[in-house]
Structures are given as C-alpha cells and as structure tokens.
Amino acid sequence: MKKILRLLTPVMLMLSLTLVGCEFKNKDEVELSLNKLLEYKDSYVGDNSAVGNILSELNILSELPLNESGNGFELKTDEKPYEITVSYNLKDDLKEEILEKNAVVLFALIKNVDIINFKIENLDNKVYKYNKDELNEKYKVDFTKLSQDKESLQKFLYN
C-alpha cells in the first residue's frame, strides 16, 4: 500500500500542477483577447479587417467557431441600417446568451453598426437578429462605456 501511495503522490502532484497551469493559460488567453478587442474600439462596419479581427477574438473568448467554409461574415454598408452577418456551424448546443453578448460587444466596438445577424448554417440557416437600440434598452448600458477599458468588457462578458 505504501508503494502505491509513493507512486501515486508524484503523479497526483504533477496532474494538479498541470491543471493549475492550464487555468492560468486560459486567463492569459482571455487577457490577450480582451486587449486585442479593445484595439478595434471605434471601428466602422465598413472596415472589413477590423470586423474580422473582432470576430476572431470573440470566437476565442466565447468558443464559437466561425464557419469553416471561409465565408465567415458579410457586411451590408450600402445604406442604413448597417449590418454584419456572421455565419456559424455549431458543434454543441446553441447558447443564445453567448450570441447576444457577442452582439453587444460588436455594438460597443463598431461605431456605426445597427444590426448584427448570426446565421447558424447547420440549423437550417436560422438567423438570430440583434438590433442595437433594442439591446441598449435591454441592458441599460452605454456601449461606449462598455468598450472603455478591459475591466468593463470582461465584467460584461463573464457576469
């Protein structure tokens, strides 16, 4: 019995340290993604590169994979209301709360976007549509203040 304990103790210790290390890595990834998101504060819906980078960081934070076919998002900028449509193929159950929070973050970072659509391609192209004014009313939050600093953004995403 003592031999088994002697063998298992170092293994358990290493496993514990590995799990703790993974937790810190995830926190570091979150910090990095939040900082990267804030680099795109005050972007415009017509800035294809900024929108793509924001979506990439949001996908890391919320673990929603962009559609692998390469047509991850579309911009409608020819007339108001300006829209962004993001395509997803989801592996797990859909969590509408994540989509809604991602929409709020997009509204906070992109000045002139009015509507965010999330098209779930593997659910018969079901579209979840979010309007800036409606979400502003629901959350009673000033979107510009939400993107003011990392702490505000983190608090909104994870509370």
| Statement: the pTM of the whole predicted model exceeds 0.85 | no
- pLDDT per residue as tens digits for the range 29-85: 888 889 999 999 999 999 999 999 999 888 877 766 554 444 589 999 999 999 999
pLDDT of residue 21: 36
Quote the domain boundaries for residue 92: 2-158
Dihedral sign (CA 48, 113, 76, 120) = positive
Q: What would the two tokens of residue 137 be?
A: 């009313």
Give the three-class secondary structure for 132.
helix
The answer to whether 88 and 66 have CB atoms below 8 angstroms apart is yes
What mean pLDDT comes out for the span 6-18? 42
Q: What is the rounded CA–CA span in Å between residue 59 and residue 123?
A: 19
**Domains contained in the chain, number:** 1
Handedness of CA 32, 34, 37, 38 (dihedral sign): negative
- pLDDT, tens only, 116-125: 999 988 878 8
